[in-house]
Amino acid sequence: MLEQINTSLIDWSRAQFALTAMYHWLFVPLTLGLALLMGIMETLYVKTGNDFWKHNTKFWMKIFAVNFVIGVATGLILEFEFGTNWSNYSWFVGDIFGAPLAIEGILAFFLEATFVAVMFFGWERVGKRFHLVATWLTGVGAAISAWWILVANSWMQHPVGMYFNPDTMRNEMLSAESFWEVAFSDVALVKYFHTVLSGWVLGAVFVVGVSCWYLLKHRHQQMAMASIKIASIFGLVSSLIVAMTGDLSAYQVGKVQPMKLAAIEGLYDGGNSQGLTVIGLTNPAKERYDDGVEPFIFEWKMPYALSFLATRDLDGYVPGINDIIRGGYTQPDGTVALSAEEKMKSGRNALNALDAYRTAKQNGDAATAEAILPALEKDVKYLGYGYIEDANELVPNIPLNFYAFRVMVGLGCYFILLFAVILFLAYKKRLSQMKWMHWVGLCSIPLAHIAGQAGWIVAETGRQPWAIQDLLPVNAAVSSVSAGSVMTTFIIFLVIFTVMLIAGIGIILRIIRKGPQEA
């Protein structure tokens, strides 16, 4: 048995979960996007009876299948890693967090699994319309599945609808109605549209990129142009909505995760009328929030933009990392922020009160337990801070968040431009002649994957050290397993996933080289 949790165990556990999530997110967004595009193309087939659309649908379906199986494989691991690597988390919040995962399985995953089989194998076994319904339901299943997963993730960013029960030593739902608060929180809503539509953007970029390759090679040009037109309309609309929801998401982060926003900006000393850093170079010499080292070697800011993004007011107050650690500023809800030291002290008081409460209960001393309760209730909100030793632990990795955010936003803007230009050229009938544009389209495929990965890095590492924001830090969420065991499984997963990735890419390239059946 472990005597104490060490940082090596936490790091390997985090690395394993991050590895699985990142590989998962290499494949799943493409299935989200392709599912919808396949639905549109098959609908055109059923409406027009033109085999051209059937062959197109079947072609993209083959690529979808390769992505689907890797997405399923990595998704299974993610679910079980909550138990294997984050067992304390599973108990501490399983009462709330487990429900969305179970609902995902019952309502969404079965829908997807049932109709994906009809979609793949049913072309000659079921009627045209039934097959079309199956294709759409596969996409609907994937979208519903994403809803519940993102509800769970949003709850980790902004936990609502629960209270701490000292008798069971965990967080529980406040009432049956709390479930709705969890399932339809504003954060979940915005995160859902931002994340799923970023998958649609990736799907559209992929279709445009592969089609551009066919134009470069002068093969399947009719199919390529038709796919580009559909994908670029779809991609343009999706990327505009992603931009809007991204803006909403930043506003929410400013309200509920101010440290994440400060980390994204590398903002140490906040204030009113803050500018948004458009480009900058972080200073590697800066190691602690309070070491006095300048955070940037250089930076260029857009005046007032950060205040507007976070508060919808050009003069709005945005706290920096030092402000959040020091406390004393007025928060969006009108209360004055406590300092990190005060929260950590309250957290330790809560842990001590909890220990005393439990001891009294075990000794059958109900009166003492009852007397301890008010002290516990006073500080329980900061219970998670009791596991924090040094205020510096509360600061996420600044360079990682700073650059990942800019990569995500920069590429998001690029995709809007890309789809607009390609759409314009496609309808002006100039695209098929413009070789350089074909290369641009093709080279955009990895960029879409990078944007998605960068988004998840911001979402997850910006929340550190918290597994659940302000409620449970990772050092209190981890399983009691040796760091060596987790390191070994990390390496095994790394090998398996990488082989899967290389094999998957190899197969997809073969499918693309072979191309769709000619009508």
Partner 1 sequence: METYSCLQHYWWFLISLLGGLLVFLLFVQGGNSLLFQLGKNDEERSLLINATGRKWEFTFTTLVTFGGAFFASFPLFYSTSFGGAYWAWMIILFSFVLQAVSYEFQAHLGNLLGKKTYQFFLVLNGVMGPLLLGAAVATFFTGSNFIVDKGNMSNFSMPVISQWTNSWHGIDILFNIWNWVLGIAVYYLARMLGGLYFINRIKDDTVVLRCRKQLFSDAIMFLFFFLAFLVRTLTNDGFAVDPETQYVYMEPYKYLNNLIAMPAVLAVFLLGVIGVLWGTFKGVFVVGSRQGIWYAGVGTVLTVTSLLLCVGYNNTAYYPSIADLQSSLTIANSSSSPFTLEVMAYVSILIPFVLAYIFYAWRALEKKQITREELKNDDHAY
330-369 positions binding partner 1, by CB under 8 A? 348, 351-352, 354-355, 358-359, 362
**What burial letters (b/e) apply to 97-122, b meaning 16+ CB within 10 Å?**
bebbbebbeeebbebbeebbebbbee
**Of residues 121, 298, 300, 424, which one binds partner 1 by CB under 8 A?**
121
* Strand partners for 279: 300
**Any idea what DSSP says for residue 6?**
-
**Of residues 118, 146, 259, 309, which one binds partner 1 by CB under 8 A?**
118
Q: How many residues bind partner 1 (CB under 8 A)?
A: 106
Cα 197 to Cα 32: distance, rounded to the nearest angstrom? 8
Cis peptide before 465 (omega within 30 of 0): yes
Quick one: 268 or 357, whose CB is closer to partner 1? 357
Cα 177 to Cα 290: distance, rounded to the nearest angstrom? 43
State which amino acid sits at residue 311.
T
**Of residues 11, 15, 46, 178, which one binds partner 1 by CB under 8 A?**
178
Q: State the Cα torsion 302-305-306-310 to the nearest 10°.
A: -170
**Any idea what DSSP says for residue 50?**
-
Cα 225 to Cα 232: distance, rounded to the nearest angstrom? 10
**Of residues 49, 80, 269, 413, which one binds partner 1 by CB under 8 A?**
80
CA distances from 147 to 71, 79, 228 (A): 16, 15, 28
**Of residues 31, 56, 57, 85, which one binds partner 1 by CB under 8 A?**
85
For residue 9, give the H/E element and its range. Answer: helix 7-48
Is residue 296 close enough to count as binding partner 1 by CB under 8 A? no
**Of residues 29, 94, 209, 258, which one binds partner 1 by CB under 8 A?**
94
Cα 266 to Cα 307: distance, rounded to the nearest angstrom? 14
Whether the CB-CB separation of 162 and 171 falls below 8 Å is answered with: yes
Is residue 273 close enough to count as binding partner 1 by CB under 8 A? no
Least Å from the CB of residue 508 to partner 1: 8
Is residue 476 close enough to count as binding partner 1 by CB under 8 A? yes
Residues 14-73 that bind partner 1 (CB under 8 A): 58, 61-62, 65-66, 68-70, 72-73
Is residue 496 close enough to count as binding partner 1 by CB under 8 A? yes
Stretch that binds partner 1, among 80-88, 204-212, 272-280, 331-339 (CB under 8 A): 80-88
Residues 6+ apart with CB under 8 A from 348: 386
Is residue 327 close enough to count as binding partner 1 by CB under 8 A? no
Stretch that binds partner 1, among 122-130, 247-255, 263-271, 277-285 (CB under 8 A): 122-130
Stretch that binds partner 1, among 116-124, 288-296, 399-407, 422-430 (CB under 8 A): 116-124
Is residue 172 close enough to count as binding partner 1 by CB under 8 A? yes
**Of residues 12, 45, 109, 213, which one binds partner 1 by CB under 8 A?**
109
Is residue 244 close enough to count as binding partner 1 by CB under 8 A? no
Residues 128-147 that bind partner 1 (CB under 8 A): 130, 134
Q: Distance between alpha carbon 112 and the CA centroid of its chain, in Å?
A: 21
Q: Is the dihedral of CA 472, 478, 483, 488 positive or negative?
A: negative
Least Å from the CB of residue 418 to partner 1: 28
**Of residues 293, 314, 502, 519, which one binds partner 1 by CB under 8 A?**
502
Q: Which two tokens stand for residue 158?
A: 């902004």
Is residue 295 close enough to count as binding partner 1 by CB under 8 A? no
Least Å from the CB of residue 39 to partner 1: 17
Cα 229 to Cα 258: distance, rounded to the nearest angstrom? 41
